[in-house]
A = this chain, B = another copy of it.
């Protein structure tokens, strides 16, 4: 066994060589298909990317792996968001302004991801599928903890955490699902509602803390 660079099936995407090339081809194809609205199966990506089914399955053993990879790409700008505004109000506004358009742009991808996490939850309930990590890695938690960080000292840690939890309800794909699909709003209106709600929640937490002192 030599020290070649392809030991694990799905290697780091930063690598070179034919494997990385094919993987990127498939990933780009999958991303394109997803942004066009459909949630492609592995076979569909294989056909669109003009590789054989067998090859496609070598890189992405399931639709879940495929969606997972596309989500990681779509998540990029959101994870890079700089949590540097001075106060919580502007931080949450800035976060929503950054994240929501991106989520809307990749709506199909994020919805597919949510669907997968529901699948995994159901399978776990059923007893199948041990306690592997759930699909949803809580990026939301970290982002919102940073958003509420400036409030440290102005309220109890419990109140701050509750605020972060409440804010997580108005920040994510779910918002788009509810406001666009049920209410029939546009993406812009949905974002505006989310921003209003977020501001209301932050204000309420601050006001409540001031009243208690």
Contact = CB atoms under 8 A, between A and B. Distances in A.
Interface of A: 37-39, 108, 111-112, 114-115, 117-119, 121-122, 125-126, 134, 136, 138, 140-141, 162, 165-166, 168-170, 172, 174-175, 177-179, 181-183, 185, 193-194, 196-197, 199-201, 203-205
Q: How many copies make up the complex?
A: 2
Given A162-B193, A166-B193, A200-B166, A178 B183 contact: no
A165 B138 contact: no
B121 A182 contact: no
20 contacts: A39-B126, A108-B125, A111-B122, A112-B118, A112-B122, A114-B114, A115-B119, A117-B181, A121-B181, A136-B181, A162-B196, A166-B193, A166-B200, A168-B178, A168-B179, A169-B170, A169-B194, A169-B197, A197-B201, A200-B205
A208 B136 CA distance: 36
Contacts of A134: 181
A158 to B, nearest CB: 11
A121 B125 contact: no
